[in-house]
Amino acid sequence: MLTEVILTTLALFVVSSHSYEEALQCNYCAHSRKKKDQMDGVNQNPDCMNHLKFGSRMDMRRHCASNEKFCLVCASHQCSSVTNLNGFFVTIERDCAVYCEEGCEERGYGLSYTVCTRCCRDTLCNEHDGAHYYRPKSSRSLSWTFYLWISALMHFFLAIN
């Protein structure tokens, strides 16, 4: 009898504590430097670019739905992300997400653009900012490759003389 009471009490405690679990809260904003968006007044919130500004604003936060398990920040018109067009910052979005795949991807022909997405699972964790955070992964390797290539050329020309 005592065991049943203890188990019932424990079960009620587990169910009640789980049902009151606090929902994930994420930073929620968007900013675009696209000319069309600027002309239309769409996604014009420059505070979204600086965590010191959006971090202090309650209107730039939202409680996620129960199926949204991620906070994300990304740049693109396709997701909450950061987009760079030929190296220039274009858009940033911060929001909750059901699914999130982290990384940077280059797209386009001629006018290439990079879409970077960062994912996290803690409350208000999508506060990342700074150009270094959204730099395409290839830009670091390109500079390293360029350095090695120049070093090899210098070594070759010095060996000839």
Q: What is the pLDDT of residues 85-102, one digit of tens each?
A: 666 778 888 999 999 988
Q: What is the pLDDT of residues 38-78, one digit of tens each?
A: 889 888 888 988 888 888 899 999 999 999 999 998 765 44
DSSP state letter for 75: B
pLDDT, residue 23, reads 87
Task: Determine the pLDDT at residue 95.
Answer: 93
Going along the chain from its start, the domains and CATH numbers come out as: 23-160 (2.10.60.10)
pTM: 0.64
- Identity of the highest mean pLDDT range in 11-15, 20-24, 51-55, 85-89: 51-55
End-to-end CA distance of the chain: 96
Q: In this predicted structure, what is the pLDDT of residue 96?
A: 95
Determine the Cα–Cα distance for residues 62 and 45; give it in Å rounded to an integer: 16
